[in-house]
Structure 1
Amino acid sequence: MKRLIILALIAIAFTNCKRTETPVVEGSETTEVEDTYSKDNYTKKEVMIEMRDGIKLHTTIYSPKDTSKAYPILLKRTPYSCRPYGEDKFSKKVGPNKYLMEEGNIMVYQDVRGRWNSEGVYDNMRAFIPNKTGNQTDEASDTYDTIEWLINNVDNNNGNVGTYGISYPGFYATYSVLSGHPALKASSPQACIGDFYFDDFIHNGAFLLSYWRATSVFGYMKDTPTKEAWYEFPDIGTEDQYQFFLDAGPLSNLDTYYDEDNVFYEQIKTHPNYDEFWQSRGIIQHLKDIKPATLIVGGLFDAEDLYGPFNTYSSIEENSDNFNSVVFGPWSHGDWARTKERQVIGNIHFGDNLSDYFQKDIETPFFNHFLKGDASENVDLPEAHMFDTGKKEWASFDTWPPENTTKESYFMQPYERLTQQANRRIATSDFVSDPKKPVPYTEDIKVVFTPRKFMTDDQRFAARRPDVLVFETEILENDITLAGDILAKLNVSTTGTAADWIVKVIDVYPSDMETPDDNEDVQDHLKLSNYHLMVRSETMRGRFRNSMSTPEPFVPNQKTAVNIELQDVFHTFKKGHKIQVQVQSTFFPYIDANPQTYVDNIFQAKEEDFKTQTHKVYNDSSIEFTVLK
């Protein structure tokens, strides 16, 4: 079996953060303070905290050296390790951001059950048990037991606890609000996983092949606490990810790289539908009657976790009466925790000091108000603070989506037209989909562990392919601002019995748009003239068009409705731009290739199952936008 041992770099690659030896916030590296700041101003202690069932979890505690006052506790529970281990080894930065570190808080990190230096058995997205009895445990009970120990055993704490985390640690932050501990006053789940069937590894039933290697991080189990990585990572032997997966063929051929020891990949392969296994692990449905204040944070160009933060916020908002706020900026996964001045995604520069602004003016006041101030008073933070990725400016709203919106539909017409009037005569736009020549999700060749840049990539390369349908408005005479969800209502048919459907919403820049003279952010082979900025995309594995739990084949050549929900956007298409929609059936190797012949489990499909088919999109297909008035 082709494998390469990965040590600390696995966690680096998966979270795209610099985690060589420090338990810093995902994606963050502090340059504003000296490397010795935490060591000069904090003491460090490592303890094993015993849970109610006897399992002990490794916990690292950084306490301010200034003991003249009491401090709140900020807790991050993580599967990515509490490194650096050893009470004489310090992280360069502790806590969610430098401001909270410099003003003084008790910063706590914990290896979750079954990971790194903690005891116990790990379980991906461990199911929440609402009514635990006896010594039953879940991540909520582990959080409760941890908080209980901390407030009773850590000196100079003020009795208030906050939780936070990005990505998987964001999931544990969400989980913490279900603990019921009275000392937990505030939580900030950020890029938080809400359901692994819709975040990270699977999107609407389609397997994200680009995350296939990442299953190593979560799939290999360990028997005892360890300070060294124990999992393995497949060596694909090439820089060309597209060609590697194309040559590999059916997913079943990838089994030569993993065996049943990769527990998570086995779970993915054996549970292709949204069955009880996945449903029980979702956290969204449990977010009711939440008491701690919550600040949900996400990136509008986060390729990994858009479903989680949007649905975490909306579920709490609908089912609880706590302070619940949401922030989305022009960030990829975890960018808001970084300190880079220029905020750039792919080829697009959105502004400067946007992450520092969030850390200083939103995140820090949130935790200070609920952990240090008088939480009974109103906090000076908006309900929803969103970044318009078209105008490149912040806006605040009393609700999200905003109240002053309306639904507007645009129809996909022949001759590549996107109009608000549908032609009454039935017509189709047709294309041939060959799973052996799939549409790339990016022009780039370099292998990346988990792709992110493509979220703002120029889509001209795809628009010029015959297997990608293009629908485009006339040049806009006025600004149009989308503020909320997008629903693609496709009416389609196929000559086969299975198909994927991918919809992309694109901002077409004017032909006279100038590229900066220094070309600092734009790839050398591109110009911003006529740039096709991808604003949002989503896929639907067609077999799940009516039910994520009960797949069904297409009837060949029969007109069929396929609805695709695209995650929220906040984007202004400016006057002089055009709105474009692209429809295709492959997005490779971001998602795996559909054989286009129905099989019960695509992970077991054979070479002969992959067939070229002709797909049709009918002219009564539409895309419904949430438009700000």
Structure 2
Amino acid sequence: MMKDGYIVVYQDVRGRWMSEGTYDNMRAYIPNKTGDQFDEASDTYDTIDWLVKNVPNNNGNVGTWGISYPGFYATYSLLDAHPALKASSPQACIGDFYFDDFHHNGAYLLSYWRATSVFGYEKTKPTNEAWYDFPDLGTEDQYQFFLDAGPLSNLDEYYKEDNVFWQQLKEHPDYDEFWQRRGIIQHLKNIKPVVMVVGGLFDAEDLYGPFETYEKIEENSNNYNTVVFGPWSHGDWARTKKRQAIGNVYFGDDISVNYQQDIETKFFEHFLKGDGNGKPKLPEAYMFDSGSLEWKEYTEWPPKNTAKKTFWLQNDQRLNDRAEKSYTFEEFVSDPKKPVPYTEDIKMVFTPRKFMTDDQRFAARRPDVLVFETPVLSEDMTLAGDIMAKLKVATTGTDADWVVKVIDVFPPDAQNTEETQDHLKMSNYHMMVRSEVLRGRYRNSFSKPEAFVPNKKTDVTIKLQDVHHTFKKGHKIQVQVQSTWFPYIDINPQTFVKNIFYAKEGDFSKQTHKVFNDSSIEVMVLQK
């Protein structure tokens, strides 16, 4: 960007790196500030105001950009925006910490536990060197480490009271005022600057944020607002690798570079250096199809020409688009001491990424994973939009997690690529297309947890984030349902306790879960 004549400014937020002040993780927005009140919006306003008045040779047009946490701050810049702020591109942006990064629908993402070091320790002075340390775990086997560690309360030995964020996670397991105030999605109204939201279809960290940011701005503002989603993991589009792949799945060459040159550059060129009028000849929604491996342009997202289709989770492992007149159930035993792995890769990671397209055959072979599958498709079927899992369940316990995965089963003649791992073949590959978890106690309210009544049939609805994927002719659609996903998420005791962060060994118990055959998966199918 500097070669193209942009003036690039990078600023640390209060209390981080070279900035003074006190750090507040996901600082809450304050509408109608008075006196000396401040938030990230007012800090951004003040920064822009100083820059346009003091930096030589600027043209008075300012843009904001950021990925992940900086993406959250880019979104924040849109609130009470400075008149000079013309364009913003929040990318992989956190929208709400209860649904991004460290939580998914009330379940704690144990796989992000090591990242607590980065956000939990306060520094004493401005610095350009890391002031935090990662705990020495003595192993690279993440599954075994967390299994041996047992309840979350046993992890206190690694993070003491000086880790502020760990204490906050422990004290606020529910979606209470602490988390609600830190969410930014609800404040995205009457946005004036133009916006381009960017995300990765396989972002394990921040998938909720980009979709919700685009959707809420679209609903509540009259500005120019566009969205881009490609076949990327977290922030992958900022890199320049030749072959774009996630795990074993190859999507094409030069996808990120082409995006940078043909989409991102055009956006900022038009609104910061051009006349800024009208639209920069970019689509409203530019979405990569992760099944057909091609970009598609839409005038809105989700596309207009979609129709809802329902698949029923029927006995004998059938996924059927016709409901049955009578219903039975499938059942499995969920044992906290033998949780279903979220991946075959045992490596300890800072945050997981590659598993989002993992082969799910290893899970399908387990007795505590239910599998439902369509016949071989006779024609292509493109899903474009969100997925709703409407489960009818029962448990012998008083709490349970529910995990739903939507999977593309490749045909026997599928060809390997150079990304295919040695122990795998793409023949009959079970590619995870979308997945999500709901902590069952939050089935009716994320703020007011409630126990299950043992053996009582209960509705559990899970929203899976949007997809844009073509299940091709000759493939099959598969749905897996399970109750553990370890150590991506922590283990539910399956006995209702007030706060799982304080659960003890004796609270964990083996339970039997039922999924009734009137459970369904609702998808949005693109019409031809």
For the superposition of Structure 1 and Structure 2, which TM-score range results when normalised by the shorter chain? over 0.9
Q: Distance in 2 between matches of 1:399 and 1:266?
A: 42
Counterpart in the other structure of 1:283: 184
Mapped contact 1:143–1:179 kept (Cα < 8 A):
no
Counterpart in the other structure of 1:460: 361
Counterpart in the other structure of 1:493: 394
State the Cα distance separating 1:604 from its structure 2 match: 0.6
Matched, 1:523 2:523: no
In structure 2, list runs of 5 or more residues that go unmatched. Answer: none
Any idea what SS the aligned residue of 1:101 has?
Answer: coil
Any idea what SS the aligned residue of 1:539 has?
Answer: strand
Aligned to 1:538, which of 420, 427, 436? 436
RMSD: 0.7
Counterpart in the other structure of 1:420: 321
1:554-573 matched pairs, under 5 angstroms: 554-573=452-471
Provide runs of 4+ in structure 1 moved above 3 Å: none
- Residue range with higher mean Cα deviation, 166-175 or 375-384: 375-384
Counterpart in the other structure of 1:507: 408
1:223-234 matched pairs, under 5 angstroms: 223-234=124-135
Counterpart in the other structure of 1:115: 16
Letter in 2 for 1:619: N
State the Cα distance separating 1:422 from its structure 2 match: 1.9
Any idea what SS the aligned residue of 1:235 has?
Answer: coil
Q: Distance in 2 between matches of 1:180 and 1:396?
A: 29
Mapped contact 1:498–1:554 kept (Cα < 8 A):
yes
Counterpart in the other structure of 2:41: 140
Any idea what SS the aligned residue of 2:123 has?
Answer: coil
Matched, 1:174 2:75: yes
State the Cα distance separating 1:512 from its structure 2 match: 1.8
State the Cα distance separating 1:104 from its structure 2 match: 1.5
Letter in 1 for 2:489: I
Letter in 2 for 1:445: I
Q: Distance in 1 between matches of 2:239 and 2:479?
A: 32
Matched, 1:198 2:99: yes
Q: Distance in 1 between matches of 2:26 and 2:68?
A: 12
Mapped contact 1:165–1:190 kept (Cα < 8 A):
yes
Q: Deviations over 1:214-236 (max 9, x none)?
A: 01100101232122211121111
Q: Deviations over 1:316-348 (max 9, x none)?
A: 000001110000000000010000011010001
Any idea what SS the aligned residue of 1:569 has?
Answer: strand
1:66-145 matched pairs, under 5 angstroms: 100-145=1-46
Give the % identical residues.
74
Counterpart in the other structure of 1:302: 203
Q: Deviations over 1:352-396 (max 9, x none)?
A: 110011100000010011101111233201000000000000000
1:279-358 matched pairs, under 5 angstroms: 279-358=180-259
Aligned to 1:449, which of 346, 350, 355? 350
In structure 1, list runs of 5 or more residues that go unmatched. Answer: 1-99
Matched, 1:265 2:163: no
Aligned to 1:625, which of 504, 520, 523? 523
Q: Deviations over 1:225-269 (max 9, x none)?
A: 122211121111101000000000000000010111111111111
Q: Distance in 1 between matches of 2:63 and 2:415?
A: 46
Counterpart in the other structure of 1:478: 379
State the Cα distance separating 1:308 from its structure 2 match: 0.2
Mapped contact 1:331–1:345 kept (Cα < 8 A):
yes
Counterpart in the other structure of 1:588: 486
Letter in 2 for 1:424: K
Letter in 2 for 1:481: T
Matched, 1:401 2:302: yes
TM-score, length-scaled by structure 2: 0.99
Letter in 1 for 2:506: E
Q: Distance in 1 between matches of 2:134 and 2:94?
A: 23
Mapped contact 1:544–1:551 kept (Cα < 8 A):
yes
Any idea what SS the aligned residue of 2:114 has?
Answer: helix
Any idea what SS the aligned residue of 1:556 has?
Answer: coil
Q: Distance in 2 between matches of 1:446 and 1:602?
A: 25
Any idea what SS the aligned residue of 1:627 has?
Answer: strand
Letter in 1 for 2:423: H
Structure with higher RCO (Cα < 8 A, 6+ apart): 2
Any idea what SS the aligned residue of 1:169 has?
Answer: helix
Q: Distance in 2 between matches of 1:532 and 1:143?
A: 45
Q: Deviations over 1:419-461 (max 9, x none)?
A: 0112222200010000100000000111111000000000000
Q: Distance in 2 between matches of 1:356 and 1:605?
A: 48
Letter in 2 for 1:539: V
Aligned to 2:311, which of 391, 401, 410? 410
Letter in 2 for 1:541: R
Mapped contact 1:543–1:552 kept (Cα < 8 A):
yes
Mapped contact 1:418–1:473 kept (Cα < 8 A):
yes
Counterpart in the other structure of 1:26: none
Q: Distance in 1 between matches of 2:4 and 2:95?
A: 32
